[in-house]
Structure 1
Amino acid sequence: MGRRDYEDDPHAPAANSLVPAASTIVTDDAGRILLQRRVDNGMWALPGGRMEIGETLPGCAVRETREETGLDVEVVGIVGTYSNPRHVFAYDDGEVRQEFSICFLARPVGGQLAVSDESTEVRWFAPDEVDDLPMVSGVRKRVNDWRSGAMPAIG
Structure 2
Amino acid sequence: MARSEYYDDPNAPQPNSLVVAASAVVTDSNGRILLQRRRDNGLWALPGGGMDMTDSLPGTAVREVKEETGYDVEITGLVGTYTDPRHIIAYSNGEVRRQFNVCFRARIVGGSLAISDESTEIRFMDPSEIDELPMHRTQRLRIQHFLENRPAPYLG
The alignment's TM-score, normalised by the length of structure 2, stands at 0.97
Q: Which residue of 1 aligns with 2:84?
A: 84
After the TM superposition, which residues 1-155 of structure 1 pair with which residues of structure 2 at under 5 Å, given as runs?
1-150=1-150, 151=152, 153-155=154-156
The whole-number CA distance in structure 2 between the counterparts of 1:141 and 1:153 is 10
How many angstroms apart in 1 are the aligned matches of 2:69 and 2:17?
Answer: 26
**In 2, distance between residues paired with 1:80 and 1:100?**
11
CA deviations on 1:93-114 (whole Å, 9 max, x unpaired) are: 1111102100000000001111
> Offset of 1:152 from its aligned partner?
5.3
C-alpha displacement of 1:26: 0.2
Cα separation, 1, equivalents of 2:44 and 2:106:
18
Amino acid aligned to 2:124? W
Structure 1: distance between partners of 2:60 and 2:69:
14
RMSD (Å) for aligned C-alpha atoms: 0.9
- The one-letter code of the counterpart of 1:6 is Y
Deviation at 1:129, TM superposition (A): 1.0
Cα pair 2:80 2:102 within 8 Å, conserved: yes
**1:72-131 residue CA offsets vs partner (Å, 9 max, x unmatched):** 000000000000111010000111110210000000000111110000111001111111
CA–CA distance in structure 2, aligned partners of residues 72 and 122 of structure 1: 15
Number of paired residues?
155
| Bigger share in strand | 2
Runs of 4+ in 1 over 2 A off after TM superposition: none
3-state SS, counterpart of residue 61 of structure 1: helix
Paired residue type of 2:126:
A
Gaps spanning 5+ residues in structure 2: where?
A: none
Query: AA paired with 2:56?
Result: T
Contact 2:78-2:153 at 8 Å conserved across structures: no
Matched letter for residue 139 of structure 1: Q
CA distance in 1 between counterparts of 2:105 and 2:154 reads: 16
| Whole-angstrom distance in 1 between the partners of 2:154 and 2:109 | 30
Structure 1 gaps, min length 5 = none
Amino acid at match of 1:136: H
SS in 1 for 2:115: coil
Percent of paired sites with the same residue: 59
